[in-house]
A and B are shown apart, each in its own frame.
Chain A
Amino acid sequence: MTTIAHQILAPLRAGLTGVPGVSVPRPGAGPAGDEGLARRLRALACTAPLHDLDARKSNLAGEYAVYGMAELGLAAIDLVTLYMDFDTGADRDQILAKLLPRAAAQAPERPAEEHLRVSRWVLESLINVGSVDRGFRAVYGMFTPDGAYVRHDYDFKLIEEFPGRDGGIYLRATDEAVNVLVGALDTDVASAQIAAEVKLEVLIARGRLADAQLAAEQARYRTVQYAETLRRALDATRRNVRAVDWLNAVPDMIAEALDHVADRYRHETAILTNIRRARDEAEDAQHKRRAAELVDIVKDCIRRHTQLQSRLLEAGPLFRAEQDRQAFATPAARAGTDLYGQLLATTLPLPVEQAGTVVGAFFARGAGFRAPGSVRLCDLVDALLTPPVEREHLGAELPEPDLVATPDDSRFSEEQLEAALQILDLPPDAPRRLSGLLAEARRQDPELPYLLALLAVHAASPPVGVAHRQGEDRLLFAVDDGTPLDDPEFGGADLIVGTAVLREAPRQGHGEPRDKPIGVRSRTSGVADAQ
C-alpha cells in the first residue's frame, strides 16, 4: 500500500512544490539494491522455461495434462548434471532412458511410446531446439547511476549440446541450470561449497540423515559446477590463449581450486568416516540404507575432486603447449561463406540452366564420396549363374481351409422363429395379452412359447431408435399393466403385446434416407440389438 501511495503522491508532491519532475523517483536503496534486484530477476528468469513446459503442454497434439512437465524438466536437468563428466557430457539416450520411468510413473496407463515422446519433448524444450541459438532470453530493467531506466537482455541456456571427442553429441547442464536445480540462486561457488559441507557435518553430527543426504547432493552439484568453470577456461584456452587471463585470473583460480580440493578432500574423508560409523551403528533399517547411499554420494564427490585435481595439475602445461601451438600457427584467415546469402539466394533467380551448373558444382564437391564396389570374378560367375528367384505375382498359395461342420446347437430353429414372428405379427389396432399368445403358440409347438416369451420380454424395451434409423415402420412393443400372468409354465406379468406404427417425426430440413432394408433381416437384427 505504502509503495502505491508513494507512487501516486510523488508526482503530486512534485507538482505542488512547483518543481518539475525531471527524474523518476528511484525505488530501492540505490544502485546496489537495484543490482541485487537484477540478479534476482535473472535467477527468476532461469526458472521460466520450466514453468513454460507446463504452460505449453496443452499445445501438444494429444492429452498431456496428466504429465507434470516441470517435474520432468527438473529431473532431466538433475540427471544431466549428475551424469556429465569432466571430458564428456551426459549421453542423450542415457538421460532419456533415466527419464522414462518418471514419465511412466506419472501416467502408467499410457503407452511407452508416449512416455518416450514426452521425455524427448521435455529434453528438447530445455535445449530449446526450436530457437537458433538454442537458448532462452529474458528482459529486465535497471536504473543506471544517472537515473535512466535501461532494459537489458539476459541470455541463458539450461542444457547445452556439444560435440564429444568421439564425434558424438553430449549434453551439459549450464551453471544457470545447476543454480535453478539447487535452488541456491546467485551464490558464490566457493562459499556455497563450504556452506554445504559445514551443513553436512552438522547434520550428520545430529543424526539427521535425510537432510544430510540433501546437503551431500548439493555439495556434489557444486563440485560439478566448479569443474565446469575450469573446463570452460581450459576449453577457451584451447581455442584462443588470449581469451583467458593467464597472467592473473586463471593462475589464481587454479591455486584457489587446488587449495579447495585439498581442503574438501580432508573434509569429505572425515565426513565419510562419520557416515560409515553412522551406517554401522544405525539400528533403523531406513537410516542404515540412507547412510549407505550417503557413503556412495560422498565417495563420488571424492572421485570428482580427484579428477578435478588431476585436471588442475595439467592446466599449466596445457596452457604452455597451447601458447606454443597458437603463437606459431598460421592465422586462420577464413570468414565463413554465407551459404544462404551468397549461394542459395543468388542461385534461385538465375535461369535454370545456369543455376544447374552452380548447384551441380556444389553437389559434386559437397555430397561426399562413394567407394565403388569391386566384384570378385568367382562371385560374379556365381551371381550370374544363379537362376533368378521366381516371384509369385499372387503371393504364396493359401492352404485350403479344413472346414468342419459345427453341430447346430441353436435352441430354436429358423422355422420356430418364423412361426413365433407370425404369431406376433399383430395388427396395430389390436394388441393382445401375452397369455393368449402363449396359448396359441403352445397349440402349434410345445417349444414355441419359450421363444415367444423371450421375444415379448425383449419387446418390453423396444429399440425404437434403431428401428427408426433403419427405416422400419412398425415395431413390436410390450407393456405391463400389472395383471399377473396365469400360465402353467411362465410366471410374472401378463404383458400387453402390440405393434406400434412408427411415423416420421415432422422434421425440418433433410429427411433420413428411407430406403427400407429387407424385412426379415432388419427384424432379426432388431432382436439381436435387444439382446
Chain B
Amino acid sequence: MIPEPAPPAEGEHRTPVETVADAVGAQDPTAPRAASAPQITPGDVSEASRLVGFGLQPKLLPARDAEYGALVRRYREDPPFARLADAVAAGLGLIVLEVSPRTGMAVAAAEDSVFAVRMGEYSRRAASDSGDRFLHGLAHLAVAALAFPRPEDLADDGYLGRISVNGVDAFVRQACKRLAERAEAEGEITDPASDAPGLEAAWRVYTRRSATGATKDARRLSGSTTGIIGKAVSFLVDSGFLQKISDDSGGTYRTTARYQLQVRELAASAAMAELLELGIVPVSDGSASLVPPPDGSEALAADAGLPFHAL
C-alpha cells in the first residue's frame, strides 16, 4: 500500500521520495481530475505518457484494451489533457497524426527521433549500395501506390486497400517494361555510362533485378524484387500498417487506417517535397492516372489485382 502523503503542515520537510509517492498516489482514480482543477497533476502526466506508450504499440487498438480506450476518450474530451499528451509525444520526437477509436493514438517518428527507422538499419546492403537503397524505397512507394491506386482512395477514410507481394512486383515490372519500350521507340540509349552509374535510369535497376530466386531453405530470395517487396510488406505489418489475409500470391494483405494516415499525411508529401527539390513538379488534377486499357487487348499486370494499366 502507498502511504498517505504527509499533512500539509509537514510538507516543507518532504523528501523527494515522498514526492514520488505523492505522484503515484495521484493516480488513484478517486483523486480529482485535472479537468476540474486547472493545474496539471503528476497523475495527468503519467496518464498522458501512458497514452503515448500505447501509441508506440502500433498493432494495439483501443477496442482491444479498455485502458487504452478510456485514455483515447479522455484525449478527445479533455483538451488540456490532449495538449499534455501532444507535448509528451513531441518531447519524445513523435508526431501525433490522429487520436481516435479507429486508429488509437497514431504517432509517427520525427526525422531525428530515436524511433525513426533509417535505411541503413532497415537493410544492411542498402547502406552501401545505391541500387539497393533505391529498390527498398521503391518497394515501399509501390506498395502504397497499389494499396491506394486512385487519389480518392487515399482521401476516403473508409477505403481499404488490398495488395499482394507478387501483384506489386508484377505491376512495377510492367511499368518498367513500358518505359523500356518507350525508350526503345524513341531511340534512346538507356545503357548507363560506365563511369556514372548514378545516372542510370531508375527503372533499369528494377528490370535488371530478378523477380525471385530459389534458396536452400525455401524462403524468398532476399535480394530479389519479390524478396525486397516481401520485406517491405512484413515491415509494414509490424508497423501496424498492413494485415495479412492469406498466403496467396506471395502473401495478400489489407491496409489499416493508420497506414492511410501515414501515407496521406506524411510520406506522400515528403516524397513530393523531395521531387520539388529536384525541380520536378508533378501536377495532378485530382483524377486517377491509372487508366483501363483502351481496347482490352493489352495484357494487364498479372496478380496486381487492378484492371489498370501502368502508364
* A residues with CB within 8 A of B: 120, 129-132, 161-169, 334-372
Contacts and interface: CB of A to CB of B under 8 A. Distances in A.
B93 to A, nearest CB: 9
A367 B305 contact: no
A363 B272 contact: no
B202 A352 contact: yes
Interface residues of B, number: 103
A61 B152 CA distance: 36
In the A-B complex, the 7 residue pairs with the smallest Cβ-Cβ separation, listed nearest first, are A341-B289, A368-B239, A359-B137, A166-B63, A366-B267, A336-B154, A336-B155
A361 B278 CA distance: 13
A348 B203 contact: yes
A448 to B, nearest CB: 56
B263 A339 contact: yes
Given A167-B61, A349-B179, A368-B262, A344 B142 contact: yes
A120 B278 CA distance: 47
Contacts of B197: 352
Contacts of B152: 336
Given A132-B307, A360-B274, 12 more contacts: A167-B257, A335-B155, A337-B269, A338-B151, A343-B282, A346-B282, A347-B141, A357-B278, A359-B140, A362-B271, A363-B119, A365-B262
Contacts of B201: 348-352
Contact of B241 (A130, A354, A368): A368
A366 B278 contact: no
A161 B275 contact: no
Interface centre among B200, B273, B274 (most CB of A within 10 A): B274
A6 to B, nearest CB: 36
Contacts of B104: 167
Interface string B160-194: 10100000000010011001000000000000000
A53 to B, nearest CB: 18
B223 interface: no
A367 B115 contact: no
Contacts of B114: 372
Contacts of B133: 356, 360
Interface stretch (B13-21, B37-45, B80-88, B105-113): B105-113
A371 B137 contact: no
Contacts of A368: 58, 108-109, 117, 235-236, 238-241, 262
Given A161-B160, A165-B101, A340 B289 contact: yes
Contacts of A166: 61-64, 101
Interface in B235-269: 235-236, 238-241, 243, 246, 254, 256-257, 262-264, 266-269
Given A169-B254, A352-B130, A358 B158 contact: no
Contacts of A167: 61, 63, 102-104, 256-257
A357 B274 contact: yes
A360 B137 CA distance: 5
A353 B198 contact: yes
- Most B CB contacts (10 A, CB to CB) among A163, A338, A349 go to A338
Specify which of A131, A167, A349 lies most central, judged by the most chain B CB atoms within 10 Å of its CB. Answer: A167
13 contacts: A336-B156, A339-B268, A340-B290, A342-B289, A344-B141, A344-B145, A345-B175, A353-B199, A360-B119, A365-B262, A369-B56, A369-B58, A370-B117
Contacts of A337: 151, 154, 264, 268-269, 272, 284
A262 B8 CA distance: 62
A90 to B, nearest CB: 16
Contacts of B273: 361
B140, B148, B254 interface centre (most CB from chain A within 10 Å):
B140
Given A352-B130, A358-B271, A361-B273, A342 B144 contact: no
Nearest to B175: A348
Contacts of B70: none
B6 interface: no
Given A337-B151, A339-B154, A346 B141 contact: no
Contacts of A168: 63
A200 B256 CA distance: 44
Contact of A367 (B235, B264, B287): B235
A349 B201 CA distance: 6
Contacts of B218: none
Nearest to A127: B162
Given A165-B101, A166-B61, A353-B199, A345 B205 contact: no
Nearest to A335: B286
A346 B275 CA distance: 9
Interface string B114-136: 11111100100000001101101
Given A345-B289, A363-B119, A120 B246 contact: yes
B154 A132 contact: no
A356 B137 contact: yes
Given A350-B202, A356-B137, A339 B179 contact: no
B311 interface: yes
Nearest to A131: B307
A214 B273 CA distance: 62
Contacts of A359: 134, 136-138, 140-141, 271
B202 A348 contact: yes
Contacts of B239: 367-369
B47 to A, nearest CB: 19
A348 B158 CA distance: 30
B179 to A, nearest CB: 6
A369 B151 contact: no
A404 B3 CA distance: 76
A151 B125 CA distance: 57
A357 B200 CA distance: 14
B200 A352 contact: yes
A197 to B, nearest CB: 35
Contacts of B176: 348
A364 B176 CA distance: 24
